[in-house]
Structure 1
Amino acid sequence: MYKLLYADQLGRLYVDQDLLALGRSGEEYWEISEDEMLILPPGADLMLLPGRSPVGLNSDGEPEILECMEDGSPVCAVAAVLPAGYTRLLLPGYENSSHNAPVLPLYGYTAVGVDSLGQICVAAILTDPGEKWNPLNYNDDFLSNRIEKKRYEFPGNRIIEQLAVCSMNYHCLTAQNLFYERWEAGLPASPACNARCLGCISLQPSECCPSPQSRINFTPSVSELVELAAAHLSRASEAIVSGGQGCEGEPLMAYAVWSQAIKEIRRITNRGTLNINTNGGFTRGLDKLCDAGLDSIRVSLFSARTASYRAYHCPVDYDLDDVKRSLLLAKSYGVYISLNLLVFPGITDREEEMNALINLINEYNIDMVQLRNLNIDPDMLIPVIGGAASEVLGIGQFIDRLKRDCRHLIIGSFSHPVSGR
């Protein structure tokens, strides 16, 4: 049994002794079971949900809104934001306390509660241990020196300046890996995009919540991409270079420079993995990259159903059928395919969503699914997607279905080097 955790307006935390913690699946309140909870993992953050009152389970087994402190002052719901590798099982239990509740920033809000020992716990499971992505491996005292070293080695390379901002201001781990010369390093290249995703972290309409980072505002030259990518692939352990980062648009829109760059990189070194993170909508651009020697793609996907896909991704000049054509094309080249599945409790685990996704995975022989918590205000997403047409089974059962019905599939959270590189 987990007690309700809440906060006052100054952010001081309290435990309600009468109400049990509740989670949400979509708009439904769900009781939290012990097998759904973990002690708050290292690297997780607790966040206040302004304008939102916590909801707990009372002694009658009914949801109850906690509206104020004993002195009448307002209270605030609390959620956790998980580190990489953890998959959220339930949204936090809350109700908007006013019609003017602010839109929440783009984070993956997770249900919390307090156990009998007073430990804060979260409704989540560890999907991929991923020690490489432990925050303790990053942001050391020498990062700024490493950035200066790269600037000296590659003077005038504008990508370094972009990644320096991402590393120091946004603490982006893939950006930092370029300077640490290890693992997966991101190289942004495209300021343009052919989708208008609701949860885009680099560009949002002015009336929406602010984006947590700024999008690149230039297209790098072929030489800028080549010199950084070739150096990283030649030197780094378990080296991956990835186009399609959070600080850019759709990398296939920059196919002209990327295709030339891939050819040049492979003339210099055959080491490491060349990867593109993409929405997969621009099949002609993907064809150019695959023909040039691309090793792997990670395709972002909210839903394998056309209506839900359109509602979230808001594609401009393509549709889900184009994405499927891209999957087929990539397979024809022998490219390793991962889905970057944007997971949201109450939507991803709807029966109709699961069936469509499993059919897509098996039909196109997808190699891996990377489970990623969708960073968005739940009240911004749910009204757009609409209600379920069938039963909601829970994220845990959703993962079990993937394991049962897609026996070949690797389930994790991170990109891995392609075998043979």
Structure 2
Amino acid sequence: MVAAENGEIFELEGYGAVGMSGNTPVVLKKDATVPMPHGSELMMLPQRKPVVYNIATDRFESIEQNPFAPEEKIFPVAVFNSPGYVNRHFCAYDDEGIKDLLPLFSYGAVGFGKNNFRSAAIVVDTEPRQDLRLMPRKGIVKGVSQMQKKYPKNRLMRHLETCALQYGCPAGKNFFLKRYEAPLPTSTVCNANCLGCISLQKENNLCACQDRISFTPSPEEIAQVFLEHISHVKKAVVSFGQGCEGEPLTAFTAIEPAIRLIRKKTDKGTINLNTNASLPNRVEELCRAGLDSMRVSMNSVRKNCYTAYFRPRSYHFSDVLKSIDAAKQQGKFVAINYLNCPGFTDSQKEFEALNDFIDNFNIDMIQWRNLNFDPKKYCELMSTVEDGGKPLGMDHIIQQLSNRFPKLIHGYFNPPVR
């Protein structure tokens, strides 16, 4: 499957679809793909050349012109899969001589089967928490209107309105639809400089996907959002640490009293923290205040590879490990937000390190998230940091982890733990 310059997507007869794991090309087959999930988006990769499998010659080829219309340029096509699907391979493309990075999305491999588009992806979570079919705009607008009348002075509510209506944030939508998990963005700053930060970009020709929150809500504003959500939602989850903010631990002076205020009023609902876990002392204090669960974002459990992507400003990888240990010592539920890129995440050394990491810290859950960053440039960078060895296959490592750690949860969303 390729695209013309006008964006029209079509098949190339006689050529097979290809995916990549690092530098390794793989022919896509039906048994290693799934029907493209509802809500997924197909994307044309500008400037790049598609890598295809020539069935007649039994070879992988990088082609720039349509073989059946030589005057027509063609481009690779990738899929941005819906939540709950982890990429088995990324889109196969040739970017030789191109320095500019692709925009901040994940680029899954995709082909066309007998009757439908098929994604080279693995289903890790079937919960419809972010199913767009269940998020009617009419209902969101109604919820916004209700909150405007009920909480006219709550600045956090107003911020979430923008998230839901302007940026299409699923978490923001769910708050106004009174379902599942609601967001609690709080932080205006961050103590890391992640390559793929979606709220602040100042280099590599990249654009942030959304504006970062410009104020820190008061504990009372935070508590109002939480209490409003859990009053309507069974097994509700409310999370600090969203795409529209920096690192929530830097807003500790607002979050800690907010949690205490909430827990004075109710023991219901799960209070979750999505974080880089950079400040162990603050994590410990939040746990004592009433935090229920913590999800730690990591691209790698190897120090050098983690540092190359997160680029910490005022903390070290060892602080992340101390924070995880502090939360587990207090009996909290700990997940890792594992940013996946096939060829790196499933490499031999990374997999070995992941096994040791889970064993040492008794991690409760892996949330398999597709890394939103140019996959070829990412793999090139990581290979210069530390050679990970050959890719073992995403399906292989997930199955092996399930066998070795039968209590380990594999999923995508923050679960209710209360």
TM-score, normalised via structure 2 length: 0.96
2:65/2:72 contact within 8 Å kept: yes
1:56/1:65 contact within 8 Å kept: yes
Q: Which residue of 2 aligns with 1:27?
A: 23
Per-residue deviation, 1:157: 1.2
| Matched residue SS, 1:182 | coil
| Matched residue SS, 2:297 | strand
Which whole-Å CA distance do the structure 2 matches of 1:322 and 1:248 have between them?
A: 21
> Is 1:187 matched up with 2:184?
yes
Aligned pairs for 1:211-226 within 5 A: 211-226=208-223
1:158/1:220 contact within 8 Å kept: yes
Which whole-Å CA distance do the structure 2 matches of 1:224 and 1:374 have between them?
A: 32
Which whole-Å CA distance do the structure 1 matches of 2:314 and 2:235 have between them?
A: 36
Q: Which residue of 1 aligns with 2:3?
A: 7
| Matched residue SS, 1:77 | strand
Q: Which residue of 2 aligns with 1:333?
A: 330
Per-residue deviation, 1:402: 1.2
Q: Which residue of 1 aligns with 2:38?
A: 42
Amino acid at match of 2:395: G
2:163/2:172 contact within 8 Å kept: yes
Q: Which residue of 2 aligns with 1:274?
A: 271
Q: Deviations over 1:161-188 (max 9, x none)?
A: 2111110121111111221122110010
Per-residue deviation, 1:109: 0.6
| Matched residue SS, 2:120 | strand
Which whole-Å CA distance do the structure 1 matches of 2:217 and 2:27 have between them?
A: 50
Which whole-Å CA distance do the structure 1 matches of 2:100 and 2:318 have between them?
A: 36
Which whole-Å CA distance do the structure 2 matches of 1:351 and 1:321 have between them?
A: 23
Q: Deviations over 1:9-31 (max 9, x none)?
A: 01111111121111111122122
Which whole-Å CA distance do the structure 2 matches of 1:53 and 1:288 have between them?
A: 51
Q: Which residue of 2 aligns with 1:241?
A: 238
Which whole-Å CA distance do the structure 1 matches of 2:12 and 2:103 have between them?
A: 26
| Matched residue SS, 2:129 | helix
Per-residue deviation, 1:38: 1.0
Q: Which residue of 2 aligns with 1:396?
A: 395
Which whole-Å CA distance do the structure 2 matches of 1:342 and 1:142 have between them?
A: 32
Q: Which residue of 1 aligns with 2:347?
A: 350
Count of matched residue pairs:
413
1:177/1:183 contact within 8 Å kept: yes
Q: Which residue of 1 aligns with 2:124?
A: 127
Which whole-Å CA distance do the structure 2 matches of 1:101 and 1:62 have between them?
A: 27
2:88/2:395 contact within 8 Å kept: yes
Aligned counterpart in structure 2 of residue 209 of structure 1, from 197, 206, 209: 206
Aligned counterpart in structure 2 of residue 305 of structure 1, from 302, 307, 330: 302
Q: Which residue of 1 aligns with 2:415?
A: 416
List runs of 5+ in structure 1 lacking aligned partners.
none
Which whole-Å CA distance do the structure 2 matches of 1:382 and 1:202 have between them?
A: 23
Amino acid at match of 1:251: P
Percent identical: 36
Q: Deviations over 1:70-106 (max 9, x none)?
A: 1412111101110000111001111127x35742211
Aligned pairs for 1:56-95 within 5 A: 56-58=52-54, 59-69=56-66, 70-95=69-94
Which whole-Å CA distance do the structure 2 matches of 1:386 and 1:100 have between them?
A: 18
> Is 1:265 matched up with 2:268?
no
Q: Which residue of 2 aligns with 1:373?
A: 370
| Matched residue SS, 1:205 | coil
List runs of 5+ in structure 2 lacking aligned partners.
none
Which whole-Å CA distance do the structure 2 matches of 1:300 and 1:351 have between them?
A: 21
Amino acid at match of 1:17: E
TM-score, normalised via structure 1 length: 0.95
Amino acid at match of 2:16: L
Which whole-Å CA distance do the structure 2 matches of 1:109 and 1:227 have between them?
A: 38
Amino acid at match of 1:404: N
Which whole-Å CA distance do the structure 2 matches of 1:320 and 1:379 have between them?
A: 25
Amino acid at match of 2:351: M
Identify which range, 21-30 or 339-348, moves more after superposition: 21-30
Per-residue deviation, 1:377: 1.2
Which whole-Å CA distance do the structure 2 matches of 1:200 and 1:37 have between them?
A: 29
Q: Which residue of 2 aligns with 1:104?
A: 102
Per-residue deviation, 1:145: 2.3
2:194/2:310 contact within 8 Å kept: yes
1:234/1:269 contact within 8 Å kept: no
